[in-house]
Structure 1
Amino acid sequence: MSFRIERLTLEHLNGAATVLVRAYSGPPWNENWSLEAAVENVNTVLETPKSIALAAFDGGKVLGIALGIRQRRHAGPVVYLDELSVLPEAQGAGIGTALLSAVFETAKAEGCNSVWLVSQREGALSTFYQRCGFAIGSNLGLYSKSSA
């Protein structure tokens, strides 16, 4: 499968949102995203100054997305990778790896010293991120509070 990585623009907002909806609908997440919620999520990153929004394209079709927000931390600027999603039928073709690499290189070129993300501690996704050079933090936990 051939693809190219480029900056994501509003022109491909619906294609990017469709990737998010479809990628999260199956295992391991099994989440029921509406297209409206996904459009809002992607658009929020696109509207955020200094964000990194990349997509993998085959022709005009969006195959995968990587959405990161630049943040200032004590040790300097970092990119928090909010989303990395690839269409289910395009997974396993190197798209996720290429997007991660492009995010890291873009962040580095823009003066960021690291890329952070939150994902599963075990399983295929954990193995994937570690294979791509990411390390599991030993001193951080994910906390959440819900009204429902």
Structure 2
Amino acid sequence: MATGVFRIEDKDLKECAKLYVSVFNAEPWNDKWAIETAYNRLHDIYVSPKSVGIKYMEENVIKGVAFGNCEQWYEGMHFNLKEMYVINELQGKGIGSKILKVLEERVKEFGVNTLILFTEKDCSTDKFYRKNGFSGLDFMSMMEKDI
């Protein structure tokens, strides 16, 4: 039985989508994802150029994942962490930190020198990323416009 952190493969996307729905449709996000739309989102990230996907497994069951892609920037290669989540029952047990550690090692192989992500301010995810060495960017803001 496989336990540990491994590379995500195409065959994992459906299981990752089911886990995505169970995590993000629950507290504190209360999103309204369907498995099909979650699958489409993860597939789009997975097939993007220079994508990297990591899964944490216990006894052959995916319990947490991270998805993103590498992009060239003028000062080096950046990795955009698009999605990272751990099954609700196992959050706060160090799995996310394990995933991040392996992810950092993996993306360094692509010459990445910076990880970038978006998360809600002043919530558990913000605290998690800060605990793992991330810092906020006061000179940046995330914006949106409905069209």
TM-score (norm 2): 0.93
Query: Which amino acid in the other structure matches residue 30 of structure 1?
Result: N
1:78-135 CA deviation, whole Å, 9 max, x = no partner?
1000000111112122111111112112111220111100001212211111000001
Identical amino acids, percent of aligned pairs? 25
Asked if 1:139 is matched to 2:134, the reply is no
Partner of 1:85: 85
Contact residue 46 and residue 68 of structure 2 kept, 8 A = no
Query: In the aligned structure 2, how far is the partner of 1:146 from the partner of 1:62?
Result: 35
Query: In the aligned structure 2, how far is the partner of 1:24 from the partner of 1:31?
Result: 6
Runs (5+) with no aligned partner, structure 2: none
Runs (5+) with no aligned partner, structure 1: none
Q: How many residues align?
A: 146
Contact residue 3 and residue 60 of structure 2 kept, 8 A = no
Contact residue 108 and residue 114 of structure 1 kept, 8 A = no
Measured after TM superposition, the shift of residue 58 of structure 1 is 1.2
Mean Cα deviation higher: 136-145 or 100-109: 100-109
1:9-61 CA deviation, whole Å, 9 max, x = no partner?
01111111111111111222110111001111111122122111111111221
Query: Which amino acid in the other structure matches residue 98 of structure 1?
Result: K
Query: Which amino acid in the other structure matches residue 118 of structure 1?
Result: F
Query: Which amino acid in the other structure matches residue 140 of structure 1?
Result: M
Query: In the aligned structure 2, how far is the partner of 1:89 from the partner of 1:96?
Result: 12
Query: Which amino acid in the other structure matches residue 37 of structure 2?
Result: A
Asked if 1:16 is matched to 2:13, the reply is no
Partner of 1:47: 47
TM-score (norm 1): 0.92
Query: Which amino acid in the other structure matches residue 75 of structure 1?
Result: E
Contact residue 67 and residue 83 of structure 1 kept, 8 A = yes
Partner of 2:5: 5
- Look up the SS of the partner of 1:97 in the other structure: helix
